[in-house]
Structure 1
Amino acid sequence: MHEFGIAEAILTAVEKRAAGRRVQRARVQAGALLRITEPAINHAFAMVAEGSLAEGAQVELVVVPVSLTCRSCEQTTTSVDPFAVCPGCGGTDIDSEGGDDLVLESIQMAEATHVPGNSRRDRGNPVRPS
């Protein structure tokens, strides 16, 4: 399963951005040519993230379409199906561009269970009367 290599790359990027904090969710943009699905990447990620700060985190997958240009009729289109045929002429002689990127878009940190400081003296941001 090629998802494990992709999951390891996601974990590396997540750990770098998290800087030692626990992670609850990661949003990832993946090109259509990578041919991954959210259930498959979450399964692989759960396995590679075991014992890390991202253990138990979920991956939200956003599939980025590939740009396709037909060599026969020169029609250009985009598709999330890497095996698409030309919508204009039905041809299969197609050039593709992009669709192989993997980008960590964002991460969501887990709730902190302990905030350092003295909670009895912390008054937060009191509203001052006008």
Structure 2
Amino acid sequence: MHELGVTTAIIDQISDRLATMASPGAKVAAVRLEIGRLSGYTAESVRSCFELTATGTPLEGARLDVAEPPGRGTCQTCGQAVDLPDPLATCPGCGGTDLTVQDGQQLRVLAVELAADAEAGHPNATGSAPTG
């Protein structure tokens, strides 16, 4: 389950950023992730790992919101833009397999929302923090 490693890395990255951008003891209320359907990661597994690996961190108890954009690509045989439901999809127009993926492989943190008590009175606690 490679989701455990990537989820741990996400939690570590957010915790490190929180330590430099928010007041001591700040807690995370929510994390928004984008996990493309062609990324090789499943939202359900990341959710399970998140709950486990967030224990004892500022992210413990945080809500995890996950957007799952579909795969999109272009058929190099006929030039048609195609939806790619999975990595082994074929072009619905010509049946071609020479597809260039353009979207759906991403795994990224979109936003981090701090708990309301962490935001009060701290100029760097904006409610959401980029993590890239």
Given the two structures, how large is their TM-score scaled by the length of structure 1? 0.70
Q: Distance in 2 between matches of 1:9 and 1:99?
A: 20
Q: Distance in 1 between matches of 2:108 and 2:74?
A: 24
Q: Secondary structure at the match of 1:12?
A: helix
1:58 corresponds to which letter in structure 2? R
2:52 corresponds to which letter in structure 1? M
Aligned residue for 2:128? none
Q: Rg larger in 1 or in 2?
A: 1
Q: Distance in 2 between matches of 1:59 and 1:18?
A: 17
Change in 2 beyond 3 A, CA 1:84/1:75? same
Aligned residue for 2:38? 33
Aligned residue for 2:114? 109
Task: Indicate if the aligned counterparts of 1:42 and 1:58 stay in contact, CA closer than 8 A.
Answer: no
Aligned residue for 1:11? 11
Q: Distance in 1 between matches of 2:41 and 2:117?
A: 32
Q: Deviations over 1:11-68 (max 9, x none)?
A: 1232234335111210011232223333211101112212111112232111233332
Aligned residue for 2:2? 2
2:70 corresponds to which letter in structure 1? P
1:29 corresponds to which letter in structure 2? E
Match of 2:75 among 70, 85, 96: 70
Match of 1:82 among 83, 87, 90: 87
Task: Indicate if the aligned counterparts of 2:80 and 2:93 stay in contact, CA closer than 8 A.
Answer: yes
Segments of 5+ residues of structure 1 without an aligned counterpart are 117-130
Task: Indicate if the aligned counterparts of 1:14 and 1:26 stay in contact, CA closer than 8 A.
Answer: no
Aligned residues: percent identity?
33
Change in 2 beyond 3 A, CA 1:9/1:99? farther
Segments of 5+ residues of structure 2 without an aligned counterpart are 122-132
Given the two structures, how large is their TM-score scaled by the length of structure 2? 0.69
Q: Secondary structure at the match of 2:12?
A: helix
